[in-house]
Amino acid sequence: MHAASDPLARSPLLRALARPRAIALACIGALAACGWIYLGLVLSGQNSTGLLRALCAPLTGTGSPGSTALTIAMWCAMVLAMMLPTAAPMVMTFADLAEAAAAKGEATVSPMVLTGGYITVWLGAALVLTALQILLARIGVLDSYMGVANPFIAGAMFLAAGLYQFSALKHACVSQCQHPFRFFFGHWTADPRGVFRIGLRQGLYCLGCCWAMMLLMFAVGLMNVVWMAILGVVMAIEKLGTTARFSRIAGVAFIAIGLIIIIETSVTGWPKPG
């Protein structure tokens, strides 16, 4: 009789939402979807007029409060769309540990707290990237596609990102992203503030792993959805691996792309605007 009156016993949906793994999946999926939806609105706003353009299209380089707010919103959407899916293995590992702890009757913290700490780091990065975009626009480095106008700079950015893939800092950060279980096991806590701090640390490891690839969006155009998807997949595959082999393969590819851009521009010339 008591079981029948229990809401969790009556509702499969409520039973699912009580499970950390289900909460983690829903949280990641919903936030990443919001990011991609807003980016779609931004793309639509660039090619339209009226209210949609006013609400969604970032006005690069004006420095006005409205322009800055829209640019921040664009970068926040971009980090949600690109980075949250790459964090899925880390969040799901935490959720599995939380489920195991809950099954033993131990206190646990929702994966949403962990995800909140992780997102906080990347939303902070979005503010820095916004400031960088406004600076580059003011000095005339960006073109109408919100990418660097000078192909030599774009090529150099690919070279720098490629070389970073072989650095000790990159290796240290990607190793932490690939093996979150060891970190969680050594820092496990049932204190929400402690879990939030764990999310912050994982976000910092992810930032150290992926910042150079995020900067490549300036080289290819900030609203280039093809490159958003490519870089998002590369970052996700990196974190699913167990070694630095894929990171080095990606580094070689970035270096090759940079060299091709620089050599081609040197041979064919760069049609400077104006």
Q: pLDDT digits over 62-121, tens only?
A: 566 777 887 888 888 888 888 888 888 898 889 888 888 888 888 888 888 999 999 999
CB 83 within 8 A of CB 235: yes
Percentage of residues in the chain having pLDDT higher than 70 = 78
- In whole angstroms, give the CA distance from residue 51 to residue 81: 24
Instruction: Give me the sign of the Cα torsion angle 52, 55, 57, 62.
Output: positive
pLDDT at 150: 87
Please tell me the distance from the alpha carbon of residue 134 to that of residue 224, in angstroms, as a whole number.
Answer: 18
Q: What is the mean pLDDT of residues 136-141?
A: 85
What's the predicted TM-score (pTM) here? 0.81
CA–CA separation, 261 vs 254, rounded Å?
11
| pLDDT at residue 248 is higher than 80 | yes
Residue 55 has pLDDT above 60, yes or no: no
Q: Which of 87, 116, 114 is nearest to 195 (CA)?
A: 114
Question: In this predicted structure, what is the pLDDT of residue 188?
Answer: 86
Distance CA 179, CA 171 (A): 12
Which band of pLDDT confidence, cut at 50, 70 and 90, is reported for residue 145? Answer: low
Q: Any idea which of 96-110, 121-135, 228-242 has the lowest mean pLDDT?
A: 96-110
How many other C-beta atoms can be found within 10 angstroms of the C-beta atom of residue 21? 16
pLDDT band of residue 43 (cuts 50, 70, 90) is low
pLDDT of residue 28: 75
Tell me if 177 sits within 8 A of 243, measured CB to CB.
Answer: no
